[in-house]
Amino acid sequence: MAASGYTVQAAVLLLALQLLSLGAADADQETGTVIPAESRPCVDCHAFEFMQRALQDLKKTAFNLDARTEMLVLRAERRALCDCMTTNSLR
């Protein structure tokens, strides 16, 4: 019976210590400077702006690649046409 009394006392002591430590943690958080939500940009806004810039860069790169591909295809077609005309004109 005495052992169960010590167990209950130990449990109460541990509970009291946990409550005290939680109260101290809350007090530490309250001592910092609080910046109002209206004056600080949200993380989602920064992520959205970053994604917009990345999308613009991708569009620009895609346009440059498309223009370069079209130029290379036209060059290849012109070479093929010139090679064909040179071969046919020699006959």
DSSP string covering 14-28:
HHHHHHHHHHHHHHH
Q: Which of 15-19, 26-30, 61-65 has the lowest average pLDDT?
A: 26-30
Task: Report residue 55 as tokens.
Answer: 């999308």
Q: Say which DSSP state 37 is in.
A: G
Query: Which tops the pLDDT comparison, 76 or 89?
Result: 76
Residue the block writes with tokens 């910092």: 32
How many of the other CB atoms lie within 10 Å of CB of 49?
Answer: 11
Q: What is the mean pLDDT of the chain?
A: 77
pLDDT digits (tens, 9 = 90+) for 32-74: 677 776 766 676 778 888 899 999 999 999 999 999 999 999 9
Q: Can you give the pLDDT at residue 86?
A: 62
Asked if residue 82 has pLDDT above 80, the reply is yes
